[in-house]
Structure 1
């Protein structure tokens, strides 16, 4: 069904957040039930949000105190949150008694002798006992080592819980796909502003600031990254922004990681400052062919090997091995996390094919250096695997390099 405007209205269908939360929780509960685990203990912010539908801000992501517990056979998750008094007032899909404080050790900043880790472990163990799953393995995604040791001291068998959640999240719901499209649409618009701003004398970090300002103004929760890579910094790929000033004749590529209502983008586009050189055009055309060829094979029943076979080998690109070139001809699932299943690379996908299924969403990215040493071309598209084949949800044009900043260019 075609959706209405960017934000919800009462007169047309849009993202249904109540349905989104219920369907994600149902999938997590189903994944837990299919496993041999008694419960899932999650510190990974993406898993917490997927299970509970709650968020507190990126400032708390790496503190390893906020967590949730999903117990097999129990209707609701139990949320441990530093802002629990606020959560009890502002959400109505988790019972107030299931929203508890979270302190932890703040990554070791709170002295060990205070005993906060032991208290945290005791709270979890008490809940496992209350619901009769204390003798089953406990799936844990990420945490500090002291928490693992504290749980083990109570004879809890701690095992990998991330594997369960990665598989749970691989197929996106209707509302997740719509949020991914909205997030991508924000970056579509930002690329227009960047094209207008790109000119001789502007710095990489200035361009990054333009993207941040626009996305935050449109309601982004966090701009996880804006990588601006210009000129010779593009070969080999620097994977980060600098304060380098852009000069005429240079090729520039961007990667933008936006987050809208939890859902990410990973979205490269390539530009030139001035008209592109013949070598830049050749590099771009190669990168475009590789990405288009790999997209053309995407449909339910195809495999990750079919996609990876469309890409050049690492040695063809001038690298020693596929490990060195790992992120250059690459695909990764995207959703509430930046990197989800499926991951596709010539490093392992040709020999370990993974079947593509309807509802998967992933980003495909290719890279090719220009022969004249002026940089590299980089392209990325986000793809939904549909019943009939696939849908591209990143819409800024890719058929040719976008030229900017000097007379005769597309943008001036």
Structure 2
């Protein structure tokens, strides 16, 4: 793991390397979006999701806020041209990006109830007229527009004016699924920061502190090293580790009980570090029951990692995956593995028992970044163990992207 300190030559070198790859990453990501438009015979895509906008343009502006309040949006054309409707007086967020792009900046029209009140319909009409005009000026023979997300007023206006709306989120998830070497460098920088946070939590962990006090250390390391936010609040202790998905609380940690967490950390450059580990409070020797839970979760993660190969289908992987013992089946994690990039991404691989209700097929490819999951806790049991490993799929199998160690002395 990292040394957990705030500076150092290796950290500076990593940052320099990350800066060096940014031009390649920006060009690669835009090319992936363009490829999806071309493959789907679509001239343009309208993006509202802040993560999709970041992927296509490498710009960010109030990511969490604009995720709830649609107030900036971007249209990317198949030929690479971009129109960006930016939030009020925020055109400067595009400065200094050194983008090799043709970008036209405009002011966004927001028609959310917060911004428009009872004028929402009128403003949506003005918004829609501008969207239709922008598409027809640049693609006069195409009435197909991909959109990643759109509220009913906007969708109704575009349909009324002759546009056929396509599923842009599927295109963007497909574009994002294969990581370039440069993207892996940026993801690696996010993981290094996450490891610093995990190291700090390990050092600070002691009986008598609250779950929230411990969780704050991960946030601190993320923000002070240029990270952005944490998607969830998944840190739990003692009987709150079973079942999983209790949010971090003011519960006081007790000596010798289990402490489990899932980072879900959007770090530097907007890339996610999704790592789960389980310890004992006070770093005490685990009980036999705790050790058994840990050994079982560890076996699940590593068995399933060994199955990952390019060309294996999602269904095949699910069928071959480690079989959860009946005693732990009720509380199983929601998926066997999932994609990872700027956030949790396509695909999500269902357990075989859930396949009919939640599964879908596809094929693993080299260049996918994935998280292999396990939660082991008996129904009605006292504690549970959460583990998760972030990997990249290569031609010969998967390679861990993190050096954050497991408690192998428990095995």
Normalising by the residue count of structure 2, what TM-score does the alignment of the two structures yield? 0.87
Q: CA deviation at 1:351?
A: 7.1
Distance 1:42 1:13 in 2: 26
Give 1:378's aligned residue. 386
Distance 1:241 1:88 in 2: 36
Gaps of 5+ in 2: 1-8
User: For residues 314 and 103 of structure 1, do their structure 2 counterparts lie closer, same or farther at Cα, with a shift above 3 Å needed?
Assistant: farther
| Higher share in helix | 2
Give 1:369's aligned residue. 377
Q: Which of 382, 398, 402 is the equivalent residue of 1:394?
A: 402
The answer (yes or no) to whether the contact 2:297–2:374 under 8 Å persists in 1 is: yes
- Count of residue pairs the alignment pairs up: 392
Q: CA deviation at 1:238?
A: 2.6
* 1:118-267 to 2 correspondences below 5 Å: 118-133=125-140, 135-259=142-266, 260-267=268-275
Q: CA deviation at 1:164?
A: 1.0
Normalising by the residue count of structure 1, what TM-score does the alignment of the two structures yield? 0.87
Distance 1:317 1:131 in 2: 56
The answer (yes or no) to whether the contact 1:326–1:345 under 8 Å persists in 2 is: no
Gaps of 5+ in 1: 403-412
Q: Which of 279, 290, 299 is the equivalent residue of 2:300?
A: 290
Give 1:99's aligned residue. 105
Tell me whether 298-307 or 211-220 shows the greater mean CA deviation. Answer: 298-307
**CA-atom RMSD in angstroms:** 2.7
Give 2:347's aligned residue. 342
Distance 1:9 1:376 in 2: 36
Q: Which of 16, 24, 30 is the equivalent residue of 1:19?
A: 24
Q: CA deviation at 1:142?
A: 0.9
Q: CA deviation at 1:119?
A: 1.5
Give 1:317's aligned residue. 328
Tell me whether 104-113 or 135-144 shows the greater mean CA deviation. Answer: 104-113
Cα displacement string for residues 341-361 of structure 1 (whole angstroms, at most 9, x for unaligned residues): 221121229975432111000
User: For residues 199 and 9 of structure 1, do their structure 2 counterparts lie closer, same or farther at Cα, with a shift above 3 Å needed?
Assistant: closer
The 3-state SS of whatever aligns with 1:300 is coil
Tell me whether 229-238 or 6-15 shows the greater mean CA deviation. Answer: 6-15
Q: CA deviation at 1:90?
A: 3.6
Q: CA deviation at 1:244?
A: 0.9
The 3-state SS of whatever aligns with 1:252 is strand
Distance 2:364 2:323 in 1: 21
Cα displacement string for residues 250-280 of structure 1 (whole angstroms, at most 9, x for unaligned residues): 1110111222211111110000123211000
Q: CA deviation at 1:61?
A: 2.4
Give 1:268's aligned residue. 276
User: For residues 244 and 227 of structure 1, do their structure 2 counterparts lie closer, same or farther at Cα, with a shift above 3 Å needed?
Assistant: same
Q: Which of 58, 72, 77 is the equivalent residue of 1:71?
A: 77
The answer (yes or no) to whether the contact 1:8–1:15 under 8 Å persists in 2 is: no
User: For residues 12 and 86 of structure 1, do their structure 2 counterparts lie closer, same or farther at Cα, with a shift above 3 Å needed?
Assistant: closer
The answer (yes or no) to whether the contact 1:107–1:144 under 8 Å persists in 2 is: no
Distance 1:125 1:141 in 2: 16
The 3-state SS of whatever aligns with 2:234 is strand
User: For residues 326 and 196 of structure 1, do their structure 2 counterparts lie closer, same or farther at Cα, with a shift above 3 Å needed?
Assistant: closer
